[in-house]
Amino acid sequence: MSEAKLIDGKAFAAGLRARVAEEVAVFTKARGGAAPGLAVVLVGEDPASQVYVRNKGRQTAECGMQSFEHKLPVETGEAELLALVDRLNRDPAVNGILVQLPLPDQIDADEVIAAIDPAKDVDGFHVVNAGRLAVGLDGMVPCTPLGCLMLIKDALGGDLSGKRALVLGRSNIVGKPMAALLLRESCTVTIAHSRTFDLPGECRRADILVAAVGRPKMVGGDWIKPGAVVIDVGINRIEPAEPGGKAKLVGDVDFETARAVAGAITPVPGGVGPMTIAVLLRNTLVAAHRQAGMAAPAL
């Protein structure tokens, strides 16, 4: 059997951002020059979060949207952050609000997420949006699972009806919404986790396998059904064995052994990662249309 096709998330994300930019220009013209606006809130100085927020701001501007960045000191209290969220909820120039996680220990992330207007919750984490997804209604969908679905549909030619899908991981951010999205596409969906009996056997039944558990190289090639589409959401940093060596990023899937069995697979890095910000921009554009009472474009 030949090696699996590589699913190029970087290229797909670039195409999605280009389509978003085209629709942003149309929207902005129709609204008399008022471009969609995305507000990103960062509390503290976590290095990874700083890089992520910087990339979000740059890509937001490149798509023609307004970027509003709010950087707060690490000692910021919960009341102060909630007050900022309230101001952003009421600001008509802001169509999307994203509070970068994780937050410092003195702030309850659930309280902050609950305070965001569900219509501006472009992360899709608010319980209202989670509920709407669960019952099949339109809402804001979490970025990473929606990006995964786009890659899966592209790899399989669009129609997923009847496919057996296994989601490895049950988080509110990836696992549960991913399962709901696949169910909406008429897949037969299983959610597996650390307490699943015969986890390798469950994985081997899947035509579509989404791994999102945060355990490096957990899924080997012998866990994969020949020809399956494998989406690796994991990003795990492996420190070098030798002093002075370079750290390596790996996924939850053992890429080399999996590639010999799968039909299509995402690499790490360069697979799912680039899709998250691209879908965030897509969600902001959709939110802007809905808030303006306009039909959102299909992207």
Cis peptide before 267 (omega within 30 of 0): no
Residue 244's φ and ψ, nearest 5 degrees, are: 85, 0
CB atoms near residue 40 (< 10 Å) = 22
**Rounded CA separation 43/146 (Å):** 26
How far, rounded to the nearest angstrom, does the alpha carbon of residue 224 sit from its chain's CA centroid?
23
Cα separation of 231 and 210, whole Å? 5
* Beta-sheet strands, E only, within 148-255: 164-168, 188-192, 208-211, 229-232, 236-238, 248-250
Is 100 an annotated catalytic residue? yes
Whether residue 209 contacts residue 191, with contact meaning beta carbons closer than 8 Å, is answered with no
Q: Is 50 a catalytic residue?
A: no
Catalytic residue among 117, 121, 123, 254: 123
Is the peptide bond prior to 145 cis by the omega test (within 30 degrees of 0)?
A: no
Scanning the structure block, which residue is given the tokens 């989406």? 231
Could you say which of 59, 100, 176, 207 is catalytic? 100
Q: Of 56, 120, 176, 217, which residue is the catalytic one?
A: 56
* CA-CA-CA-CA torsion sign (196, 124, 282, 55): negative
Q: Which tokens is 64 given?
A: 């023609």
**Structure-derived torsion over alpha carbons of residues 157, 192, 162, 173, reported in degrees to the nearest 10:** -50
| 291 has catalytic annotation | no
Contact 236, 214 (CB under 8 A): yes
Closest CA to 122 of 54, 68, 58: 68
From CA 147, how far away is CA 53, in angstroms rounded?
Answer: 18
SS3 assignment, position 119: helix
Which residues participate in catalysis according to the annotation?
56, 100, 123
